[in-house]
Structure 1
Amino acid sequence: MVSTLLGLAAAAALLAGCAENGVVGQASSDGGDIVGSVMSPTKQPSAAGGARQGRDGGLTGTSLPSFDNAPLPSPVAARQIAGPYTNKSGAITGKLFFYRQGDQNSGNYYVCSGTVIKSRNRSLVWTAGHCVHDGKDGTWHSGMVFVPAFDNNDGDPNVDPSDLAQYAPLGTFSAVHVWTSPEWVKTGDEHGGDLAHDYAVIEVGRNDDGQTLDDAVEAAGAKPVPLWFNAPTGQDKTPSMTIRGYPAAEPFNGMAQWGCTADSVQLLNVTELGPDAKEYRAGCDLTGGASGGGWFARAPGQAAGDLSLITNTSVGSAHNAHGGNWLAGPYLDAKAKQLFTIADSSPAP
């Protein structure tokens, strides 16, 4: 199947850059390592030339997962979420800006999406692995900054990442630590790799007002969302989900939040990625730039109106002319929980 990756998506040069300063990790029970980068926030010069261009990074894949040849899900048209996003449902979703290797002085940048998740250090963002690291033989992205409730509806899509304040009603938050799965680092590439482990956690510093990320979103009336690991795997038990993000590839421009409500969500085996690999798939037509955005469902015991993060957007058909628009995200199992646990134990910024 020839499709377009949503990921390797996006990103962006930013005002407060982050230089890779080392690697942190913790051995897992099976001998693997949780891979992480320590970021040192530094001021970086503006790129040469005046114009900057945002990139969604959608790439044509040659062999995306078969999902055991399951029938395509029913299509769901995305709808634009009305701003401003400084409210309960909008503030937990944000836009991630970063450089990929070689982009710092090009005038170009990339973007992804992310979700503010409940944590002890009150500073964590959940996103896709390809939004923080290029994968096999690649490097960590640099200059990562997260903007919750980013809002530039009807504005110029080529924003200047050295001046994000006007689009950041809750402030901007530079990355200080980043973690992703060893599977993504070892196998990820521009055609996908191990998409079943395409997830990451970013710890961010405080905004210019001295607030932690959670402080800022709670001031807007929002609550960071808990993660729902090891959710039910029976098809009849898979809940409906709400999907959010900032799609930037056509026909979108990345300047507003869009979402889908998928009443029918598939949870499918992905045989190419191993016997235990599973991914969610839904018929949502968001495009590149939505990578890393959250999929939300109500977990057992949650109060009415409260939701949990069940996965992140990893890959999609991106308006495939051969039929069906869909997104897919990894099943968050014990390995994903271990990665979160490590990030959650990081000291507060």
Structure 2
Amino acid sequence: MPLSAPLLAAAPLVVGLMTPALVGAAAEPQHPQHQQPARPSAVHAARTAARSEVVEHEAARGSAEQRRVLDYWTPARMASALPISMLGIADGGLLSGLGGKAGLTSAPDLSGARAKPATRRHQGAVPLAPTSGANWPTTGAVARTTGRVFLTLAGVDFVCSASTVKSANRDVVVTAGHCVKDGTGEWADNWTFVPGYREGGGRPYGQYAARRMFVAGQWSRSGDDSHDVGMVALTTWQGRHVADVAGAQEIAFDAKRGTQTYAFGYPADPPYDGERLIYCAGRLREDPYNQTHDQGLACDMTAGSSGGPWFTGFDPARGEGKIVSLSSFKYSNDQGTMYGPVFGDSAKALFATAEHA
């Protein structure tokens, strides 16, 4: 949807792969003449139901299909998969312009050359200070529960990030909606999760295919960035659930805004290369353009970290906390701030459905 001149003057262009985020919520239905207005409780119930709509997709069906997905991801394919925000270019579209914000912005190198590996830094102690991007040592639960996602959209292989969450079926991971479904477009194929991913394609806790995927109705209908959340129920690995192998983190909803937060992911655009777990830490702030209900965090992570978990109440020594958001998008004029959706009613409904899938 074209932006008006006043809006273009007031807000920066955004970069991403989804549909415009400025599309407003659907208008309230008008009551026929002489019909009594709905009671407040009924209106509240209707709005809650709209916020809680879950859209589902069945992924790998049966053991043969699941094996095909796992076999698809050879080390070579993993190494050549692109950060998700490059979908517009790979598919022949435009990366920048008036599209939605979902999908981390980047200035990709179209020469095809991969980023040079970052200089390794050995960290003997668990980091505590605020940071906009630093290597996380391979310690604590977060180093096992956070992982890389590999998927195919529009015939092109991509990477994202995700985290396991404690769930009834012990199979659920949370990631960005745009790492599961291309907004109003197609669902991802060949979707697989590697918890605790190690440099060079290491899979110390196995590799899990998606069996069922879930996004909010607001994401599926209009690519609403305030609902850029996806939940995925995984297959088992050698007969074991992902939570039993890698562990899992708590998930929380309707958390207090503006709190101290730790964000994790596997950014793959320069200066990062997707091979190491990176973290940011600081206090959250509101979206200055009021285009979403999201909150921002000072963070230099790039594309590839989409879907990585955000924690409050995080204990750096144990690597545990409560997941309250995830990496979703950046504004094109502010590469230093990452934005993530607040887990509210729609995320709660996704989780309730996914953990019993």
Residue 244 to residue 139, structure 1, CA distance change in 2 (3 Å): same
2:255 to 231, 234, 251: 231
Aligned-partner residue type, residue 60 of structure 1: S
C-alpha displacement of 1:46: 5.7
Contact conserved, 1:133 with 1:140, CA < 8 A, in 2?
yes
RMSD over aligned Cα atoms: 3.0
1:312 and 2:347 matched: no
Q: Which has the larger radius of gyration?
A: 2
Identity %: 26
Query: Which blocks of at least 5 consecutive residues in structure 1 are unaligned?
Result: 9-27, 66-74, 104-108, 156-165, 189-193, 219-223
Distance in 1 (CA, whole Å) between partners of 2:300 and 2:59 is: 34
Residue 217 to residue 187, structure 1, CA distance change in 2 (3 Å): same
1:214 and 2:243 matched: yes
Contact conserved, 1:316 with 1:327, CA < 8 A, in 2?
yes
Contact conserved, 1:118 with 1:124, CA < 8 A, in 2?
yes
Distance in 2 (CA, whole Å) between partners of 1:141 and 1:180 is: 12
Aligned-partner residue type, residue 325 of structure 2: T
Distance in 1 (CA, whole Å) between partners of 2:265 and 2:17 is: 11
1:205 and 2:240 matched: no
| DSSP 3-state at the match of 1:261 | strand
Q: Give the equivalent residue in structure 2 for 1:80.
A: 135
Distance in 2 (CA, whole Å) between partners of 1:227 and 1:115 is: 10
Distance in 1 (CA, whole Å) between partners of 2:51 and 2:334 is: 42
Residue 345 to residue 282, structure 1, CA distance change in 2 (3 Å): same
Q: Give the equivalent residue in structure 1 for 2:300.
A: 285
1:60 and 2:84 matched: no
Aligned-partner residue type, residue 182 of structure 2: D
C-alpha displacement of 1:5: 3.7
Distance in 2 (CA, whole Å) between partners of 1:269 and 1:337 is: 26
2:170 to 101, 116, 122: 122
Residue 266 to residue 214, structure 1, CA distance change in 2 (3 Å): same
Aligned-partner residue type, residue 182 of structure 1: G
Distance in 1 (CA, whole Å) between partners of 2:18 and 2:284 is: 20
Q: Give the equivalent residue in structure 2 for 1:150.
A: 197
Q: Give the equivalent residue in structure 2 for 1:343.
A: 354
C-alpha displacement of 1:229: 0.5
2:261 to 207, 218, 241: 241
Residue 31 to residue 79, structure 1, CA distance change in 2 (3 Å): closer
Distance in 1 (CA, whole Å) between partners of 2:97 and 2:298 is: 19
Contact conserved, 2:18 with 2:183, CA < 8 A, in 1?
no
Aligned-partner residue type, residue 316 of structure 1: K
Moved over 6 A (4+): none
Contact conserved, 2:192 with 2:209, CA < 8 A, in 1?
yes
Q: Give the equivalent residue in structure 2 for 1:265.
A: 284
Residue 167 to residue 46, structure 1, CA distance change in 2 (3 Å): same
C-alpha displacement of 1:248: 0.6
Greater helix share, structure number:
2
Contact conserved, 1:5 with 1:288, CA < 8 A, in 2?
no
C-alpha displacement of 1:30: 3.8
TM-score scaled by structure 2?
A: 0.69
Contact conserved, 2:52 with 2:216, CA < 8 A, in 1?
no
How many residue pairs end up in the alignment? 271
Contact conserved, 2:229 with 2:341, CA < 8 A, in 1?
yes
Residue 290 to residue 304, structure 1, CA distance change in 2 (3 Å): closer
| DSSP 3-state at the match of 1:119 | coil
Query: Which blocks of at least 5 consecutive residues in structure 2 are unaligned?
Result: 1-11, 20-47, 86-94, 102-129
C-alpha displacement of 1:167: 1.3
Q: Give the equivalent residue in structure 1 for 2:274.
A: 254
Distance in 2 (CA, whole Å) between partners of 1:7 and 1:286 is: 20
1:100-179 alignment, distance < 5 Å: 100-103=153-156, 109-136=157-184, 138-152=185-199, 155=200, 167-179=202-214
TM-score scaled by structure 1?
A: 0.70
Distance in 1 (CA, whole Å) between partners of 2:18 and 2:51 is: 28
Contact conserved, 2:18 with 2:182, CA < 8 A, in 1?
no
Aligned-partner residue type, residue 228 of structure 2: D
C-alpha displacement of 1:102: 2.5
